[in-house]
Amino acid sequence: MIGRKYQIHSFKHNGTYHRIWDRTYLIDQDEDYLVFANEKTRVHEANGKSWFTKEPAICFFFKDRWYNIISMLKDDGVYYYCNLASPFTIDDEAIKYIDYDLDVKVFPNRQYKILDRFEYKLNADDMKYPKDVKEIIEYELKGLEKSIKRSDFPFDDKLVQEYYIKFRSIREDV
């Protein structure tokens, strides 16, 4: 239901919690994805520490893609943080996914950087990621890079701004 508040639960492959975002609001849904938004929400880390997000975020979760995308509206433009992750599940409490360590940070000029390759290799060995999961992650990473270069959905700053305006109007109603 549009406007409903959820948490975001990120897990590691071994089932342990990675991160929890206290609140995010559903602002759009499609048969292939859900869009959430949050601003100044508390994030709890697995190590017991917590912090607050600094800027508004529009989050895209896909039903059949092995990544999710967080677009952050900063003063100097829209940044995209792409988490290589399992497709989401959702229940009454939270949207949930498994984080597979690799990340892609996209800058406002559309340059991007792949992050955490060492962490991915370490966790893949330590948690024994199955071969098919590793193949899917590599395949999805290549597709994600192509989508970034082509500015495919949701790498559209105007769309992200429109979602932020929608979030502000929904949040006033909540």
Task: State the pairing for strand pair 17-29/5-11.
Answer: antiparallel
Determine the Cα–Cα distance for residues 63 and 86; give it in Å rounded to an integer.
9
Say what the pLDDT of residue 130 is. 98
Say what the pLDDT of residue 172 is. 67
Candidate list 4, 19, 168, 171, residue with the active-site label: 19
Checking phi first, is residue 4 left (phi over 0); if not, alpha (psi -120 to 50) or beta? beta
What domains, with CATH codes, occur in the chain? 5-173 (2.40.380.10)
The per-residue pLDDT for range 120-135, each reduced to its tens digit, is 999 999 999 999 999 9
Say what the pLDDT of residue 174 is. 47
Determine the Cα–Cα distance for residues 174 and 172; give it in Å rounded to an integer.
6
Mark whether 19 is an active-site residue: yes
Contacts of 121 (CB under 8 A, 6+ apart): none
Say what the pLDDT of residue 167 is. 96
Say what the pLDDT of residue 54 is. 93
| The pair of three-digit structure tokens given for residue 112, joined into one six-digit string | 């991007």
Beta bridge partners of 21: 8, 43
Say what the pLDDT of residue 173 is. 57
Say what the pLDDT of residue 136 is. 98
Give the residue ranges of the chain where pLDDT is below 70.
172-174
SS3 content of the chain, % helix, strand, coil (to 5): 25, 45, 30
For CA atoms 98, 80, 50, 52, the dihedral sign is negative
Determine the Cα–Cα distance for residues 29 and 45; give it in Å rounded to an integer.
27
CB–CB of 75/91 below 8 Å? no
Mean pLDDT of the chain: 96
